[in-house]
Chains A and B, each alone.
Chain A
């Protein structure tokens, strides 16, 4: 007897991914129902679900997905009727419920809906009676193969647990007294060394699992956007830019709620109804986009729309009415400050709140959530052209190459991308003005150390650096290496120092603080300040 339970678990997890992708694809199909490629892609994903369901003997799920797949095949040849996407969404909702209940329709609470949708999808779909001009589809192969399962989904908590356990095992090696290791016979010493090396590789691989793509993150909102658009009688397309950028799952998870608020506001208040958009010379469908950009040590996530923009008249009215500001004061207010008024607790321009907008909460919640992550929210708005809400987050979990060195008691790192060169010096440098260098010990308040001196040239000095685009920095250290680090955002207290961009964890478990070159430059006042600068 074959034990199918583990395959059932894989199927349940795997199908979740397909359903999420189908939400996005259906939203795209709604905006462009004649796009044959979209229907082909939808059919492919439903086909995969059907294949897995059939292989597991999930007959009800198999039958329903078969009916849905047939509709999608039909839509590649004939234009779908106006209700097609909604019907498909209903069908997929039921299919999702059934697969989550492992085909137990009665237990899923969906028995009645299942019968209705199965009957619906057993019949041909409503189409506009036009055959597409493109070539008709080849007949479906009778022995079409079932896609193989090559990915599984696991709970984030499990990954965290595995990372934690591997880290603890790594630290056990460190606790081994060095003299006891020496007493081991050579083969045992080699075994310990090899074991520890493999464990470090395992640890890094596990850390990699914490990264998810922005595309997967954005996928979560496709359905919400579609539902909101229907609720407000608007047509909205959703585009994702920078979808391959990866970020720490914990960070993205904490951005979920702020993004929901921003999306709700954009659909409810930002994007105009189709008729108004047409009058304004715009596409009747509103455009919502989520863009991710990695800039230096920050991740920028922007949610933008091409709607009416923020209602400045309402903002000004609020400032006068509630804050008691005079017109001249408002006039003098920088645009950024004016727009940030919408983030005040209690700010609302809606006289009659609905369930999803105008409750006077939302933007202040967004700001608090972003700030709790050490980030900032920036708002831009062009009247009639749209609004952009950019969340700037400090370095998120990522991997980077860094030059790591000891300076006194401290272990410090600088991203290798910020270092132009490293030169070992034979003696303390001296050079003629205007040549000068930054003494890192003085900047960081480290007591004099006696190690070999190195001259590092930091990139990023820009106009402030006296020596072209580089800041020459001298350090005394016994140890300087280039290595891979897992980078973690600095906490509140560490951020207050103003010169650290994060914390790095090396393969050997070594923790170092990562210096922000630009902040270091600002703090030191290099090259004008003499306090931490030495000239020869």
Chain B
């Protein structure tokens, strides 16, 4: 069995491998950046590292950004020397799935690299 970290993005249940999740942080200040596309929320500086923060629903499903107010949970992802942060609609937590890759059909498993590639593609 493997562990996945599940969250909601634009009404879809999405999962990433738990080992790619570096931290889930609250109360972390996001610095907005001009000239960036709508899915790009800003940057977070956490423990000496920069993370591009993306609206999970907007980058994965091209929905309109929600506009964030108040406390937001930010999922910091790190994999193979790369990093990225997502703001999901809601965090569901850790779930188990079979190592064979069989998983609950309602959860879309996604690798952080695909999210990064999608963001770069959307930016053009």
Contact = CB atoms under 8 A, between A and B. Distances in A.
A488 B45 CA distance: 10
A491 B50 contact: yes
Nearest to B27: A175
Interface in B25-73: 27-29, 31-36, 40, 43, 45-48, 50-52
Contacts of B35: 444-445, 497, 499
Interface string A486-520: 00101111101101100101000101110000000
B101 interface: no
Interface in A399-439: 407-412
Interface string B95-124: 000000000000000000000100110010
B123 A493 contact: yes
Given A167-B45, A493-B123, 15 more contacts: A160-B47, A163-B48, A167-B47, A408-B34, A409-B32, A444-B35, A445-B34, A445-B35, A493-B120, A497-B36, A500-B33, A503-B50, A511-B31, A511-B45, A512-B31
14 contacts: A164-B46, A164-B47, A167-B46, A210-B48, A410-B34, A444-B34, A445-B34, A446-B34, A491-B83, A492-B52, A505-B45, A511-B45, A513-B34, A513-B43
B43 A503 contact: yes
SS class, residues of chain B in contact with chain A: mixed
B42 to A, nearest CB: 9
A245 to B, nearest CB: 21
B19 to A, nearest CB: 19
Nearest to B81: A372
A240 B50 CA distance: 31
A296 interface: no
A174 B33 contact: no
Contacts of B43: 491, 494, 503, 511, 513
Interface residues of A, number: 37
A335 interface: no
A168 B33 contact: no
A497 B47 contact: no
A20 to B, nearest CB: 25
Nearest to B47: A164
Given A168-B47, A491-B52, A494-B43, A411 B31 contact: yes
Nearest to B51: A491
B29 A511 contact: yes
Contacts of B81: 254, 372
Contact of B48 (A160, A254, A494, A513): A160
Contacts of A496: 120, 123
B52 to A, nearest CB: 5
A210 B49 CA distance: 12
Contacts of A492: 52, 116, 120
Contacts of A160: 47-48
Can you list the 7 inter-chain pairs with the closest CB atoms, starting with the nearest? A164-B47, A444-B34, A511-B31, A163-B48, A497-B35, A493-B52, A511-B45
A493 B47 contact: no
A503 B45 contact: yes
A212 B40 CA distance: 33
A411 B83 CA distance: 23
Interface string B1-37: 0000000000000000000000000011101111110
B50 A493 contact: no
A493 B36 contact: yes
A203 to B, nearest CB: 10
B47 A513 contact: no
Nearest to B33: A513
Nearest to A411: B31
A164 B31 contact: no
A164 B32 contact: no
A450 B32 CA distance: 19
